[in-house]
Amino acid sequence: LDCTIRDGGLINNHNFDHRFVREVYKALSEAKVDYMEIGYKNSKKLFSTKDYGIWKFCEDADIRKVIDGIESETKISVMVDVDRVDIADIKPRKESPVAMIRVASYVKDIDKAIYLVNHFADKGYETTVNIMAVSRALDNELTEALQQLEKECKAQIIYIVDSNGALYQETTEFLIKKAKSILKTKEVGIHAHNNQELAFANTTEALIYGASCADSSIAGLGRGAGNCRTELLIGFLRNPKYKLRPLIQ
């Protein structure tokens, strides 16, 4: 999953123009990347449209303006934050260009995340829970959250998110193995940040130990130190499905 526009939007208040986002979508489509996360679905009651660009809100009309006319198998994803989304704004899947909704949550809010995910799943969307700032979560609290997600949540994927870019390979291995041991009916994902120049290393480590979903962004564009680079990850995977050249161009 490429999150260039969503995570990159955190450094420019989501003020990418349609042309730029369309070019990213075109490149990702040619590269055969599975998902493009195009922004947040945040409530306009909480955030001003004067202060934030259109990808803070991801109206269906704006998404269609980007993707229409481009032949693509790349699915569109949006992210919502716990307590920052108006669920009435989310149309049923069959009426929207969005395929996947990802719910970002801290461990302490996992109840709220489960409520949101189950609601979106019932509307027909693919769903994930992204457990943020995992390096700051207490081990017993993370264990309880994972157990609750396994029992109560309809999300297909649970992401371990290194929001602070604090993990080393050993901790990444530990967390992925823990998640895999508890989440018997779900996939495990990794979202790494590059504060220690380890986003790529930690992402590959997570894949080696059983994660099957990985976030990245073109040139590592993202909040703070940025993310794992999409072009590095595709080079590592050596899967003939993916094409590197469109991303470099």
Using pLDDT thresholds of 50, 70 and 90, give the confidence band for residue 228.
very high
Looking at residue 30, its pLDDT comes to 98
Looking at residue 44, its pLDDT comes to 95
Could you tell me the CA-to-CA distances from 14 to 4, 28, 42, 98, 157 in Å, in that order?
11, 19, 12, 18, 25
- Collapsing DSSP to helix, strand or coil, 54 comes out as helix
Nearest to 77 by CA among 236, 189, 173: 189
Looking at residue 68, its pLDDT comes to 97
What's the mean pLDDT in 61-88? 97
Please tell me the distance from the alpha carbon of residue 116 to that of residue 128, in angstroms, as a whole number. Answer: 10
Answer for the pair 249, 39: CB distance below 8 angstroms, yes or no.
no
Looking at residue 78, its pLDDT comes to 98
pLDDT above 70 covers a percentage of the chain that reads 100
Looking at residue 56, its pLDDT comes to 98
Cross-strand pairs, 101: 78, 127
pLDDT in tens, 13-30: 999 999 999 999 999 999
Please tell me the distance from the alpha carbon of residue 101 to that of residue 121, in angstroms, as a whole number. Answer: 9
Using pLDDT thresholds of 50, 70 and 90, give the confidence band for residue 178.
very high
Looking at residue 6, its pLDDT comes to 98
What's the mean pLDDT in 179-204? 98
pLDDT above 90 covers a percentage of the chain that reads 100
Looking at residue 161, its pLDDT comes to 98
Name the token pair of 109: 């809010």
Looking at residue 234, its pLDDT comes to 97
Q: What is the distance between the terminal CA atoms of the chain, rounded to a whole angstrom?
A: 19
Please tell me the distance from the alpha carbon of residue 232 to that of residue 202, in angstroms, as a whole number. Answer: 12
What's the mean pLDDT in 50-72? 98
Could you tell me the CA-to-CA distances from 49 to 103, 122, 192, 200, 235 in Å, in that order?
22, 29, 29, 34, 38
